[in-house]
Structure 1
Amino acid sequence: MYHIKTIEGQLDSKGLKIAFVAGRFNDIIVDRLVGGAVDYLARHGCEKENMTLIKVPGAFEIPVVTKKLAESGKYDGIVVLGAVIRGATPHFDYVCNECAKGVAQVSLDNDLPIGFGLLTCDTIDQAVERAGSKAGNKGVEAASAMLETVRVMQQI
């Protein structure tokens, strides 16, 4: 259409080594995100023996563990998954912001695609909707974004 070379990522995860970092807080929601992400990558060719799940206490701990995984050089991509639900204090804002900033910095510092599947919801109902209900499964979307980015970066 544009008559220029176009690079796009193929949605084929065969042969890739993928890590998932998942917060245990709000695990009823997070488990659904993990299930969606793992299923998506398996359906796109990733062998289960090439997938590793690391569970951390909550969203605030996700960046430091993601950093350690990225620096190990063992993984082609990482998917981070968690759920933070707004409460009555500003704690929500600090946790969400620091997790997002930390994960983005790890990705940039290590040239490593990281799918960001941290739900930041005002209510538990919103979280349920985004973990496989009316609004789809954001774990699947995070895995898909990571996979496509891995394949794009391999072509650059």
Structure 2
Amino acid sequence: MQGSDKGNLAGLNGEHLRVGIVRARFNDSVTAGLREACVAELTALGVPPDHIRSVDVPGALEVPVALQAMAASGDYDALVALGCIIRGETYHFELVANESGAGVTRVSLDSRLPIANAILTVENPMQAEARIEEKGRDAARVAVEMALLLKELK
């Protein structure tokens, strides 16, 4: 989200929302921090802690299938994808980044459920560490905003 958009979020109220989070364990210190920031922001936006469910998967490529299962349950108003892909010396970075991103988008469109994609794609661990707090909180705000919008559009 752009900085100028953040002022419009003051009225977000997630008190009646249920949010699912799928976190990739690969690059655990980064993704644990993303989840912590995301959950803190969800609760700050009024989402009750017992309406937030977080599950872990091995890596970013496994995130879409867990999102798909959560979406199919009908138990959630929005989902959040958390992960961290750090560029290496091989093509694997591009493969994982592209396929996980496409999978998240496909699940969202197929299920008509908003998914905030906070799977970081960075050049190095320092870039990942610098983005943990902001991206975790942004994902929470996107999930709440989009869930409320889709409820309004029904």
- TM-score normalised by structure 1 residue count: 0.90
Which residue is equivalent to 1:29?
30
**How far off is 1:85 after superposition?**
0.3
The two structures, once aligned, show a CA RMSD in angstroms of 1.2
| SS of corresponding position for 2:141 | helix
Write the deviation string for residues 15-45 of structure 1: whole angstroms up to 9, x where unpaired. Answer: 2111100000001001110001000010111
The amino acid that maps onto 2:140 is: A
Residue correspondences, number: 145
Which residue is equivalent to 2:43?
42
| SS of corresponding position for 1:12 | coil
Name the CA distance, whole Å, in 1 between partners of 2:48 and 2:150.
21
Name the CA distance, whole Å, in 1 between partners of 2:148 and 2:20.
16
| SS of corresponding position for 2:76 | coil
Query: Which of 145, 149, 154 is 1:152 aligned to?
Result: 149
| SS of corresponding position for 1:98 | helix
Which residue is equivalent to 2:130?
129
Tell me, yes or no, if structure 1 residue 91 matches structure 2 residue 92.
yes
Name the CA distance, whole Å, in 1 between partners of 2:85 and 2:47.
28
Write out the 4+ residue segments of structure 1 that deviate beyond 6 Å after TM superposition.
Answer: none
| Structure with bigger gyration radius | 1
Which residue is equivalent to 2:83?
82
Question: What is the identity percentage for the equivalent residue pairs of Structure 1 and Structure 2?
Answer: 37
More helix by percentage: 2
The amino acid that maps onto 2:120 is: L
**How far off is 1:11 after superposition?**
1.3
Which residue is equivalent to 2:55?
54
Write the deviation string for residues 98-138 of structure 1: whole angstroms up to 9, x where unpaired. Answer: 11000101000111010110000000000001013xxxx20
Structure 1 regions of 5+ residues with no counterpart?
1-7
Write the deviation string for residues 72-106 of structure 1: whole angstroms up to 9, x where unpaired. Answer: 10111101100000011010100010110001010
How do 1:87-126 residues align onto structure 2 when only pairs under 5 Å count?
Answer: 87-126=88-127
- TM-score normalised by structure 2 residue count: 0.91
The amino acid that maps onto 1:144 is: R
